[in-house]
């Protein structure tokens, strides 16, 4: 034990686990923030990319949560690859111009922080399990 006697010993308490609801909120808020970066790039006429996880691979373009259709844009809030139901029947918000998407993304973030998207995220998470 003489080799270890020069060290200070302490017991590390186990970290408190993050509740699944809070983990989902954090995940979707981070994705919304990334979509804001996608929007900034789109307004400049550029494509937003993230570095590849593996070395030597090309950067990965991030897919936007909006699609142009019907002389406007449909903006969806996605959890993973699936769009969330924003009310009982609809999964998107319609805006007329690209510069209006930022306000929708900000509203999505506020709704996520307030817990308004918890049920929709839980439904998507349950669907993934089954």
Q: Is residue 91 part of a domain?
A: yes
Q: Is residue 49 part of a domain?
A: yes
Mean pLDDT by 10 residues, the chain (130 residues): 81 84 94 97 95 89 96 96 91 96 97 94 78
Catalogue the long-range contacts made by 105-111 (C-beta closer than 8 Å, 24 or more residues apart).
105/32, 105/35, 105/36, 105/39, 105/65, 105/75, 108/28, 108/32, 108/77, 109/29, 109/32, 109/33
CB 48 within 8 A of CB 61: yes
Entry pTM? 0.82
Report pLDDT for 118: 94
- Report residue 21: phi and psi, to 5°: -65, -45
CB 94 within 8 A of CB 72: yes
Report pLDDT for 5: 84
Q: Is residue 125 part of a domain?
A: yes
If one counts the domains in the chain, the total is 1
Report pLDDT for 129: 62
Q: Is residue 30 part of a domain?
A: yes
């Amino acid at each position: 034990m003489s080799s270890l006697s020069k060290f200070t010993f302490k017991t590390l308490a186990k970290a408190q686990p993050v509740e699944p609801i809070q983990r989902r909120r954090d995940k979707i808020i981070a994705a919304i923030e990334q979509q804001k970066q996608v929007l900034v790039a789109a307004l400049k006429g550029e494509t937003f990319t993230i570095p590849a996880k593996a070395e030597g691979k090309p950067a990965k373009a991030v897919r936007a949560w909006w699609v142009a259709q019907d002389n406007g844009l449909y903006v969806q809030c996605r959890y993973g690859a699936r769009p969330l139901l924003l009310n009982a029947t609809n999964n998107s918000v319609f805006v007329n111009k690209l510069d209006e998407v930022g306000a929708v993304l900000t509203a999505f973030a506020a709704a996520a922080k307030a817990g308004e998207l918890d049920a929709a995220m839980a439904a998507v998470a349950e669907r993934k399990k089954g």
